[in-house]
Structure 1
Amino acid sequence: MSKRPLVLLDVDGVLNPARRHTLRLRHHECVVDGRTYRVLLNARHGPKLTALARDTGAELAWATTWEQHANVEIGPRIGLPELPVIAVNSDPGTRAGEHFKTRHVAEYVAGRPFVWFDDNLGTHDWQYLKDHPGVDEFLLVDVDPRTGLTDRHLTQAREWLAGRATPDLDGAGAASP
Structure 2
Amino acid sequence: MRPLVLLDVDGVLNPIGRRPPGYRRYRCVVEGVTYVVSLDPRHGRRLLGLAEATGAELVWATTWEEHANDWIAPRIGLPSLPVVAVNADTLPVSGHGEMFKTPAVAAYAGLRPFVWFDDQVWAEDEEYLRVHQGVGDFLLVHVDPAHGLTSDHLGMAKEWLTLTGFSQGS
TM-score scaled by length of structure 1: 0.90
1:9 aligned to which of 2, 7, 16: 7
Q: Report if the CA contact (8 A) 2:92-2:103 is conserved.
A: no
Structure 1 residue 165: Cα displacement = 2.5
Q: 1:131 to 1:49 in 2, by over 3 A?
A: same
Q: Report if the CA contact (8 A) 2:45-2:78 is conserved.
A: yes
Distance 1:120 1:128 in 2: 14
Q: Encode CA deviations 1:78-120: one digit per residue, 9 max, x unaligned.
A: 0000000000102264421100000000000010000000000
**Structure 2, unaligned runs of 5 or more:** none
Give the structure 1 partner of residue 67 of structure 2.
Answer: 69
Distance 1:131 1:22 in 2: 37
Give the structure 2 partner of residue 136 of structure 1.
Answer: 136
Q: What is the aligned length?
A: 168
Give the structure 2 partner of residue 155 of structure 1.
Answer: 155
Identity %: 57
TM-score scaled by length of structure 2: 0.94
Q: Encode CA deviations 1:126-159: one digit per residue, 9 max, x unaligned.
A: 0000011111110000000000000000000000
Give the structure 2 partner of residue 83 of structure 1.
Answer: 81
- Which structure has the larger Rg over C-alpha atoms? 1
Range 137-146 or range 12-21, more displaced: 12-21
Secondary structure of 1:100's match?
coil
Give the structure 1 partner of residue 16 of structure 2.
Answer: 18
Structure 1 residue 20: Cα displacement = 2.3
Runs of 4+ in 1 over 4 A off after TM superposition: none
Secondary structure of 1:29's match?
strand
- Amino acid in the other structure paired with 1:54: E
The two structures, once aligned, show a CA RMSD in angstroms of: 1.5
